[in-house]
Amino acid sequence: MTSPTVRLNPAAAEVALGEAQAVLALVQDGERRGRLADLVAAVQEGELGEDDAQALEEIIELGSRPAASVACTAPRESRPALKIYRKLPRGKELAESTR
């Protein structure tokens, strides 16, 4: 069974790329930097696999604390990164569980 992918439109990819590059610039751990570099490459291609989606979820959650309440209650136009988060697996789960 293959993992589902998340496709990013150009506007979402631009936001995701900015978020990922900002975190990459700060991270010192080599393993984490590698994971973020993979994410940056996937975002540039416009399609995220499972690992890349998880990495992007973590970045958006980190920048959007408390992500759970914000992801469910913030207006869709309020934060571009949250619009992307709602398309990622954990964001979808969260939105569905609150409905």
Domain-located, residue 48? yes
Residue 93 pLDDT: 79
Range of the domain at 21: 7-98
Mean pLDDT value of segment 4-28: 90
Report whether pLDDT(4) > 80.
Answer: no
Domain-located, residue 73? yes
Residue 1 pLDDT: 46
Q: What is the pLDDT of residues 40-82, one digit of tens each?
A: 999 999 999 999 999 999 888 877 655 444 444 445 455 677 7
Report whether pLDDT(84) > 80.
Answer: yes
Domain-located, residue 2? no
Domain-located, residue 1? no
What mean pLDDT, rounded, does the chain reach? Answer: 81
Q: What is the value of pTM for the model shown?
A: 0.68
Residue 88 pLDDT: 85
Helix axes 30-45, 50-63, angle to 10 degrees: 110
Domain-located, residue 35? yes
Q: For the chain, what is the domain count?
A: 1
CA distance 20 to 17: 5
Domain-located, residue 50? yes
Higher-confidence residue: 20 or 69?
20
Domain-located, residue 39? yes
> How many angstroms separate the Cα of 48 from the Cα of each of 13, 67, 72, 84?
10, 20, 22, 12
Domain-located, residue 68? yes
